[in-house]
Amino acid sequence: MTDVVPAVVLDDGSLTRSALARLTSIYPALDVHVIGLRADLISSLLTDMGVRAHQAPCTPSATSHDRLEQAIATVDTLGEGLLLTGPPLDGADMLRVLDDHTRDRGLVLHVLAPSGSGSHARVLAQTPEARGWVPVVGRVLAQTWGEYVSTTAGTARAEDLENGTTDVVVVAVRSGPDRSLLPTDGTHTATRPRGPSPLQGPSRAPIAIGAADIVHVELTEHGLHLSNRTSYDIRLRVRLGAVGDPSRDIATVERSLSSHQEATVDGEDLGAVRKLRPPDAVRRHWSHTTQTVFEGGERRINGVDLCYADTTGRVLATASHGSHRGLVVGVTAQDIAADLASTSAPNALAARYAAERARPGLELAALLSRLSTCTEQQSS
């Protein structure tokens, strides 16, 4: 296996120079086959950016549907399933074609935001059966890209592909990953083992996790309070919504917090959520103390996406956490240990490629090859 990752770039008119620049910056070594309306121009731009690009023949009268099918067929021929494109006009048709394709093989579809600002990219499953792949793919992409990747474990909708505000990665496969790609105790990311686990791996220095460590996010009457009481630097993405509709994010707040740092976000800086009524501060009297808690209101926290980093800024782990009542999220020491253990626990890829950053394209290539043949292996 080589460091070069074969990929297909499909242009249907929505790819921009900024999106192509991002593509070249986050993937360490690509061998690209370009299909689409402006294949000659895209190939030329990628070549100028230092990417090995090949223009695939395409019939001028071909429809968007035809070009998509040709792109997927080319991915199959290459044997490692990475397809890159811009936001489609018809996301529903793209999902239907993916659904037909994954009856035979799996692939990863990366929809690049036209702005080229794809930070906090989201990884989604094409079908519920593929959800087990989401944390696996998200983990490898975070390591390859060197940036935060949100693994929401949701399924892709047409509007997710069409939106274009940030990068969206869709895992299209008909069966979940085998146990060799999951933590060695056989648990799935959704039911990770609880309890402190020391960090392992060749490039991670162990950092103690104290019993009182917590990442705390809370809606208040004034806005949002963020607290990082851990020994890690973290990046947070707080997804905000309205009461009664936890599946719809209407605003996001992104902040970086150093170890043992706190921050507040004023209500006027909460995007569209600022128009909603904040919770009320209520004094509660317990047996030995009196505490202010927040209740009611129309604002809610739908979830918090976390990125743990070392002192150099290198990503150690990413995770997503929900909220029971929508007013507070507390990521406890046990949660933190589980988040870090899920990425540091030995698995087939980590064991085989211990020097993950020495040859940065290799782990991605291995995952894509494994995923592209997953359906065949499962059905054989």
Which domains does the chain carry?
Answer: 5-182+349-379 (3.40.50), 214-343 (2.60.40)
Cα 82 vs. chain centroid, distance in angstroms? 15
44-81 per-residue burial string, b: 16 or more CB within 10 A, e: under 16: ebbeeeebebbbbebeeeeebeebbebbbebbbebebb
Are 81 and 108 contacting, i.e. CB atoms less than 8 angstroms apart? Answer: yes
Cα gap 371→172, rounded to integer Å: 9
Instruction: Please give the full DSSP string across 7-32, using - where no structure is assigned.
Output: EEEEESS---HHHHHHHHHHSSSEEE
| pLDDT confidence of residue 79 | 75
Q: In a structure prediction context, what are the per-residue pLDDT tens digits for the chain, which is 380 residues long? A: 345 788 999 999 999 999 998 898 888 778 899 999 899 999 999 988 888 899 887 777 788 899 999 999 898 888 778 999 999 999 999 999 988 876 667 889 999 999 887 666 889 998 888 888 888 888 888 878 877 788 865 789 999 999 888 899 999 887 766 544 443 332 223 223 333 333 333 334 446 677 788 999 999 999 999 999 988 899 898 999 999 888 788 999 999 999 899 999 999 999 999 999 999 998 887 666 777 888 899 999 998 989 888 777 777 888 888 887 889 999 988 888 888 875 543 333 333 333 333 344 547 877 787 776 665 444 44
Are 63 and 89 contacting, i.e. CB atoms less than 8 angstroms apart? Answer: no
Counting other chains too, the contacts that 37-44 makes at CB distance below 8 Å and 24 or more residues apart are: 37/11, 37/12, 37/13, 37/67, 38/11, 38/13, 39/11, 42/9, 42/11, 42/15
Q: How many helices (H) and strands (E) does the chain have?
A: 10, 18
| pLDDT confidence of residue 57 | 78
| pLDDT confidence of residue 380 | 41
Tokens of 173: 């496969």
Cα gap 80→47, rounded to integer Å: 21
Write the single-letter amino acid at 269.
D
Cα gap 86→20, rounded to integer Å: 10
Tokens of 377: 């292996």
Identify the bridge partners of residue 171 per DSSP, sorted by sequence position: 108, 125
| pLDDT confidence of residue 185 | 31
Helix, strand, coil % over all residues of the chain, rounded to 5: 30, 30, 40
